[in-house]
Amino acid sequence: MATAEVAVVSPSSLNTDTTPVPESAGTAAATAATSSATTAAAAVAAVARTGSEATVSKLTMATKLLSLSGVFAVHKPKGPTSAELLNRLKEKLLAEAGMPSPEWTKRKKQPLKIGHGGTLDSAAGGVLVVGIGRGTKMLTSLLTGSKRYIAIGELGKATDTLDSTGKVTEEKPYGPFL
């Protein structure tokens, strides 16, 4: 449950100057102090109203976010891992709802349940199937379907890591196609 903080300002809580003033100036100073207190109280009340409206708006947004459920596709570019991409997505969704990103905790205590079906290597780009809310339970059934891969490679070269990110250790000519 979200709570809103409200500050109450009264004339006695304001810091006032205690410099002695002539009688006529004292009346003006008292009026100014009361007027300042009233203005300050009105300003705080306005901020409190705006703050509570913002809190309600954030609460509504958080409720909508936590009620999201389903499966969708995300294009994963080369570079980040599937887990990194998922963490970024989760952080952005939580930030959009005005919720802080939680530290790692047990899965059941996470405010937003999100997962991916299958893992793409960081050197690979492609479609990453993402589940959110109850959609995470559907991910395993999606993995049983057939997959299609497109490979782009360079023939005649070997690397120390056996992939495109490594340093070339050996080159051999590759003949012309017939």
Three-state DSSP state, 1: coil
Q: Encoding tokens for residue 117?
A: 């079906």
What is the three-class DSSP state of 58?
helix
What contacts 154, CB < 8 A, 6 or more positions away? 164
CA distance linking residue 111 with residue 123, whole number of Å: 30
Ramachandran class of 85: left when φ > 0, alpha when ψ lies in -120 to 50, beta otherwise = alpha
* Catalytic hit among 17, 121, 160, 163: 121
Q: How far apart are CA 32 and CA 10, in angstroms?
A: 14
Say what the alpha-carbon torsion angle 118, 119, 123, 128 is, to the nearest 10 degrees.
Answer: 50
Amino acid at 96: E
> Is residue 121 annotated as part of the catalytic site, yes or no?
yes
Query: Three-state DSSP class for 103?
Result: coil
User: What positions carry a catalytic annotation?
Assistant: 121
